[in-house]
Structure 1
Amino acid sequence: MRIRKKAIWAVCLCCLICVSGCAASNVRQQSVPENNHSADEPETDGRMSELSVIEHDAPLKIGDLGVERLLFPSHMRSLGKGHARNASLLDPNGFPLIRAFPNPSIQPIRGNYAENVIETAKSYLRTPYEYGSDRMEPSTFDCSDFTRWVYLYALGMDLPWDSRSQAAYIKAFAGRQYTDLNEARRGDILFFTRFLGPHASDYEGLQPEDKPISHMGIYLGDGKLIHTASKETGGVRIDVIRWKHLEYRFLFGGGVLD
């Protein structure tokens, strides 16, 4: 049954990717400014701040440290995109960075593709967490699989497979990038370093090499993030970023749709 399920999803993904690839390269879609969506996007619970949970949560501390390189050494993606070592732009795993655009046949919700992304992301709330989850079906996610699947299913945009590769994609193609959370817009992808503790002081004085990208999520606006961090924290969830370790771990963000 699982093999059949994977086959069905694989066919669907191929259709989405092929249609997306036909989109004109000059397609642009502005990210939605931060609006008040608090009524229908409340914080899931307080588990991301409970010391009894996070102090003993190994996946939260490890995060997504190059999951594609570690768990997919056979380069499964090479069947679809190829492994072009001589490409001008490569992600950290050696795959070519190829800019993706929304499938033109998909209508933007309320006039903006970011809302398609948000609605799809919310439909997966509480989906279980699995480190190195199957990239071909959505029964479980790790953080980068979640963001990739959301953009793929919502808009037909095929992003790279892990957090550092998606960060490379943002740096290569996002016209709007920032290190100040105040500049984040609804639908943006945000990147975070590994969990070192719940206090701001745990992250003071760190050098860039001490802050590898290990986590990511989608910004909802109103200071909130939809993401998945570990089994202990309950899979896909919504959290407030400010005044918590997520704020202290924030590295940078950008707009995939800009």
Structure 2
Amino acid sequence: MIKNKIGHINRNKKGFYIAILIILAMIAFPTTSLAADYPNEVRNAGVSYEEYTSIMSIPDLKAEPLASPRTLLKASNTQHDAVVNYALKYIGVPYVWGGSSPSGFDCSGLVQYSYKNAIGVSLPRVSKDQGAQGRSVSLNNLQKGDLLFWTNNGVVSGTYHVGMYIGNGQFIQAPKPGDHVKVTNISSYRPHYAKRILPDMATPTPTPTSHHFANLDKVSMDLNTLYVGGWHITDSLQPADPSHRVSNSRFVFVMDASTGRELGRYSIGQVWRQDVANIYSGIRNGGYGGFNLTIPMNSSWYGKQVYFMTRFASDALGNATIDDYYFNTQVYTVPSPTTINTGALDKLQVTEDNLYVGGWHITSKLQPADPSHQVSNSRFIFVMDAGTGRELARYPVAQVWRQDVANVYSNTIHNGGYGGFSVNIPIKQEWSGKQVYVMSRYASDILGNQVIEDYYYISQKVTLTIMK
């Protein structure tokens, strides 16, 4: 009995010692699952297991677009913009443990590389040491280039992640394995503290507010004329030009809506607008902002979409800009000539030994090469044999103004009213008995061989006779 009790006690002690040995082994040697969860590359990068688990717990957040790309990416000689713009070049670079080059970054590697290469500032390698640099700043008073930190114990010693503030409530970071360098909103992943490495950004000096107001009252255009009327006033001229009445400092620009380029500029005089003066009494002499511009239509604009811009300038050519106003929300299509070749015979009559031909013929092919349409030796009437379709004779005719034609075609044919003709043609002996019709021709030579446009009055025929 005593022997059995002693054996039982010894067995209890043996179990106790085995349990102690197991616990010591677990402390000295991580379990298989722990070793698998703590890769060698992480150990080699000097990251503790606690830091590793904190990094792996960084939330998976989508990459955000830049809140204000024009502001962030503008050229600047400030260190703040320089370091931010440099870091932004590496958006999309993959996360690599211990990475500190464009082939792969970890969080502190991106920060260290950007500061060093953008502005020559050297920072420690890891986030914990970077968190000990600079001076503390409030998360409510951040500036570009400030470093943002996350800690697992509330102080610098527990720091496991760093990002760089880029402005507009955003920061750039290299988050964790499987992710890449990206932009994140602070509201999505709020840091625990921030440090400022660079000097405080200078507070910009407020500049006087410049006001300008304008309106287009009327725009009209046809093939011949362009009219633009309205007003534009600005306080940019005060007090440099208190009169606002220097006529050669006002311009209307015709702008190509498809390219944004200038098609033409035209000096305009000052026109007093009492209605404008009543509303904008705070702008001195603002009533002098009116304008009325009437110009011949430029044929090279036909069919283009255009808008208008008005300019105050300090030189006579309109190059030294004081203030521009773009009416680019009001786009107009310049009319283009309709392809027209038409005419009518008012009278085709045989009288004794004469053939009288009267009527009109207009064509858009003369635009803009011959805007007058009044070159008499370029107009011909042909007598045509109806049986063979061949020319019997041609006769030059003068231009005759036809107001009735001009009334109908004034907006489609430039000076189309000059298409009239009236001619008496002597009938030759050999034509007697032939049935004929007539054709009208515009030609570019005095003989009528270089054809611009023909028009056949083939439906109207007469038989020629000669009285014996």
- Which structure's CA Rg is the greater one? 2
Larger helix share, 1 or 2: 1
Higher relative contact order (CA 8 A, sep 6+): 1
TM-score, structure 2 length as denominator?
0.26
Larger strand share, 1 or 2: 2
TM-score, structure 1 length as denominator?
0.46
